[in-house]
Amino acid sequence: MSPREILVVDDNPADVALVRESLAETAHQSRVHSIADAGEAINYLRREGKYRNNVRPDLVILDLNLVQRDGHTVLLALKGRANLRQIPVVVFSSSAAASDVARCYGLGANCYVRKPADLKRFFAAVRAVEEFWFGYVCLPDKEEG
Amino acid sequence: MAMIELCKPGQQLRLLLIEENGDEQDPTVWEMDYDGKSLPGDPRRAPAKLHDWLNERNICPCAPRRNAESQLAKKVEELARSNRELEQFAHVASHDLREPLRMVATYTQLLAERYRGKLDLHADQYIDYAVDGALRMQTLIEDLLSLSCLGRTGERRRTVECDLVLEEVLRDLSLAMKESGAVVHYKSLPSVVGVRSQLAQVFRNLIGNALKFRSDPPPVIQVTGERAGNECLFQVSDNGIGIAPEHHQRIFAVFQRLHTRAEYPGNGIGLALCKKIVEQYGGRIWVESRPGAGSSFKFTFPAAELEPADA
């Protein structure tokens, strides 16, 4: 089976690097692609413009505090589209605000994980997310469209 | 003499006065400043003289009280607003500080993980200091946040059964109690009005301190509470190291510590939190203690309404 594809939408390169580090040596050998900008991320997921030929990701890891447009916009764009809705979205944010959590689930996020402040826990959280979605969960076949 | 606003020796005496027969609803207020010398003696010592002095000039000393009250109300409102702004500031600042600090903490940890033993001995130590500093600052910020969030839980005040709260707290602390061989004695506690989680926090911090600041023998902790009129008086006593009288006030201020972190860990926020919670309910908290003779922390809390005797 070809490796799974994860799209990380996060404008903090340090966090993207940590996610990559977390997944570098796991059994799933997922491919990690990262985009910093909300608008670009939406184009990528819709496979528009220069992203026409890219593979649709199996999982989106989405930060909330993005420049210009925030992560909620990406969530709305994803979950508001019939052919994108099935892609699981893990919101990965340092915000502990109950309002952020509620809003994300309201917009259809599949789960909300707070970025741990401790390195070991950060690695563990990202690996647990990967293991859950790629090791245990049954995902739908990728629709071509 | 209600119209005297400021009356300290050496300072100016400011009088808010109203002309006699003036309009009560819309008084003409005179503000006059006196250097004290031009007044007929010290008005505090000889109020009758001042009264006569005012009478001679047909000035009524009573009516301006209303004006002073509205000024006071204005000051109270100003103070409340500035307090709210300060709390907001602490909240926002600690939130925004968390992100960059998380970067420092995780990346110094990553450095430690990847490069420990590969540089020289100094490098290992420097990295450890950096990791330690970042982690400590994280707990400080968390503590600061919890302090600034205290007033905004949104939870309604209701009757809280302190017995149940204490049992819950003792369950939380059971590991620390087991490790230190501590014994906690308590009898039935009265019910109070408050937010349950805040009351639990007060008990947890006080009992936690009793476990932490122990002397050589295993901690023996006594928790009592009794109703006295409209409030309840609680007491958490221990046989720990005790506190010198000169520190009895200071320990309740935020980030005040009496020991190095190597001796006793902590940020110096526990008692400040207790004080803020207790005072939010109009209560008081204080300590009775001497070095080597244990400590007895006491606080008051509004009592729950008594159930009617015949139901």
CATH of the domain at B220: 3.30.565.10
The DSSP result for B75-94, as a single string, is HHHHHHHHHHHHHHHHHHHH
Tell me the pLDDT band of A68, cut-offs 50, 70 and 90: low
Chain A nearest-CA residue for B111:
A119
Determine if residue B8 is left, alpha or beta; phi over 0 gives left, psi from -120 to 50 gives alpha, anything else beta.
Answer: beta
Q: Is B234 domain-assigned?
A: yes
> Could you tell me if B227 and B292 lie in one domain?
yes
Percentage of chain A surpassing pLDDT 90?
61
How many A/B residue pairs have CB atoms within 8 Å? 29
> Could you tell me if B113 and B99 lie in one domain?
yes
Tokens of B126: 């420097």
What pTM was computed for the model? 0.62
Q: Is B72 domain-assigned?
A: no
Report the pLDDT value the prediction gives residue A67, as an integer from 0 to 100: 67
Higher pLDDT, B131 or B96: B131
Q: Is B74 domain-assigned?
A: no
Domains along chain A with CATH numbers = 5-136 (3.40.50.2300)
B295-302/B231-237 β-pairing: antiparallel
Tell me the pLDDT band of A75, cut-offs 50, 70 and 90: very high
Q: Is B69 domain-assigned?
A: no
Determine if residue A122 is left, alpha or beta; phi over 0 gives left, psi from -120 to 50 gives alpha, anything else beta.
Answer: alpha
Higher pLDDT, A53 or A92: A92
The secondary element (H helix, E strand) that includes residue B220 is strand B220-228
The secondary element (H helix, E strand) that includes residue B285 is strand B285-289
Percentage of chain B surpassing pLDDT 70?
76
Report the pLDDT value the prediction gives residue B4, as an integer from 0 to 100: 43
Residue where a domain stops, chosen among B132, B152, B172: B152
Query: Which tens digits make up the pLDDT trace of A76-88?
Result: 989 988 889 999 9
Q: Is B44 domain-assigned?
A: yes
| Most A CBs within 10 Å, among B96, B98, B106, B153, to test the A interface | B106
Report the pLDDT value the prediction gives residue B294, as an integer from 0 to 100: 92
Tokens of A62: 């989405």
> Could you tell me if B135 and B232 lie in one domain?
no
Using a CB–CB cutoff of 8 Å, tell me whether A27 touches chain B.
no
> Could you tell me if B277 and B205 lie in one domain?
yes
Whether the Cβ atoms of residue A93 and residue A114 lie closer than 8 Å to each other:
yes
Q: Is B272 domain-assigned?
A: yes
Mean pLDDT (whole number) for B43-51:
61
Tell me the pLDDT band of B306, cut-offs 50, 70 and 90: confident
Q: Is B263 domain-assigned?
A: yes
> Could you tell me if B93 and B214 lie in one domain?
no
Percentage of chain B surpassing pLDDT 90?
36
> Could you tell me if B210 and B271 lie in one domain?
yes
Report the pLDDT value the prediction gives residue A85, as an integer from 0 to 100: 92
Higher pLDDT, A95 or B173: B173
Residue where a domain stops, chosen among B109, B134, B152: B152
> Could you tell me if B182 and B286 lie in one domain?
yes
Is B110 in Cβ contact with A14 (below 8 Å)?
A: no
Spatial distance between the Cα atoms of A21 and B111, rounded to a whole number of angstroms: 13
The secondary element (H helix, E strand) that includes residue B168 is helix B162-172
Q: Is B309 domain-assigned?
A: no
> Could you tell me if B130 and B223 lie in one domain?
no
> Could you tell me if B136 and B167 lie in one domain?
no
Q: Tokens 């509205």: give the residue.
A: B70
> Could you tell me if B168 and B47 lie in one domain?
no
> Could you tell me if B122 and B256 lie in one domain?
no
Tell me the pLDDT band of A115, cut-offs 50, 70 and 90: very high
CB-nearest partner of A94 from B98, B107, B110 = B98
As for how many domains chain B has, the answer is 3
Tell me the pLDDT band of B185, cut-offs 50, 70 and 90: very high
Residue where a domain stops, chosen among B19, B34, B63: B63
> Could you tell me if B167 and B284 lie in one domain?
yes
Asked if ipTM goes beyond 0.85, one says no
The whole domain housing B18 covers: 4-63
Higher pLDDT, B102 or B12: B102
Report the pLDDT value the prediction gives residue B84, as an integer from 0 to 100: 81
Is A119 in Cβ contact with B106 (below 8 Å)?
A: yes
